[in-house]
Amino acid sequence: MNTQLIMDYLSALSSNNNREWYHANKEDYKNANAEFESLVQSLILEIGKFDESVLHNNPKDLTFKIVRDTRFSHDKSPYNPAFRAHISSKGKLPVPVGYYIMIKPGDQSFLGGGLFADMFKDATKMIRDYIVDNGKEWETIIHEPEFEKYFTVKGTALKNVPAGYEKEHPQAEYLKFKSWYLEYPLKDEEMKDADEFCARAAELFRIMKPFNDYLNKALEGFRMPTR
């Protein structure tokens, strides 16, 4: 694994975010992407030591394209200069939730977990209902000292507790949420040693696992909408 090659390529793409440069340097993309897939494979194996449900995955099936859909965006840059992957029991689908990694130079990389998507109304309701019925377990997980050392629950949220839920519920603040996720920011220098980075990332993913497990219990039976 050559994480420096990944960072160098993404930095160059960020400075030359156009189709001409991308196609002229397609071989560099292939090399950098291969290194990222190797990194994802190493993470799968490390995560598999505490979560065997991810071990069947092929890295190629977990990564996201760098080509951007610019149809509805003011930013017409054709590429997102980042390598991203979501590692879960069912691949890169947002549900079940799993372990997310984004590598983006400029200290914009991060490790994540939980439900980032907020457009699935059924998923949001399932998690809210589960928190209502299992509030103590939720509090135990998010206030575990090791968890609190690294993570704070984030997510898009309403201003008020939604209709149908008690405004005075002990977890009322979290019932406002439409998504529930974690982010651990990474500095570029943390990416230099690939083996050290993998070990560090796996340890952080281990710490977030109870949070993911809780959400996945809430989302049991959820079906992705069909197009």
Q: What pLDDT score was predicted for residue 224?
A: 86
Q: What pLDDT score was predicted for residue 74?
A: 82
* Assigned token pair, 106: 């400029």
User: Which string of DSSP letters, residue by residue, matches 56-114?
Assistant: T--GGGTB--SB---TT-S---SB---EEEEE-TTTTSSSS--EEEEE-TTT-EEEEEE
Please give the model's pTM, rounded to 2 decimal places: 0.94
Name the H helices within 90-192.
121-133, 135-142, 145-150, 172-175
Q: Quick: pLDDT tens for 72-113.
A: 778 889 999 999 999 999 999 999 999 999 999 999 999 999
Indicate if the alpha-carbon torsion angle 176, 203, 50, 103 is positive or negative.
Answer: positive
Q: What pLDDT score was predicted for residue 76?
A: 85
The rounded percent of the chain whose pLDDT value lies above 70 is 100
Q: What is the largest CA-CA distance in the chain?
A: 59
Give dist(CA 75, CA 217) in Å, integer.
38
Q: Which of 200, 207, 174 is nearest to 39 (CA)?
A: 200
Q: What pLDDT score was predicted for residue 78?
A: 94
Q: What pLDDT score was predicted for residue 75?
A: 83
Q: For residue 123, which phi and psi values (nearest 5 degrees)?
A: -65, -45
Task: Give the three-state DSSP class for 16.
Answer: coil
Q: What pLDDT score was predicted for residue 199?
A: 96
50: left (phi over 0), alpha (psi -120 to 50) or beta: alpha
Q: What pLDDT score was predicted for residue 70?
A: 80
Low-confidence ranges of the chain (pLDDT < 70): none
Give dist(CA 117, CA 69) in Å, integer.
17
Q: Quick: pLDDT tens for 125-149.
A: 999 999 999 999 999 999 999 999 9
Q: What pLDDT score was predicted for residue 225?
A: 84
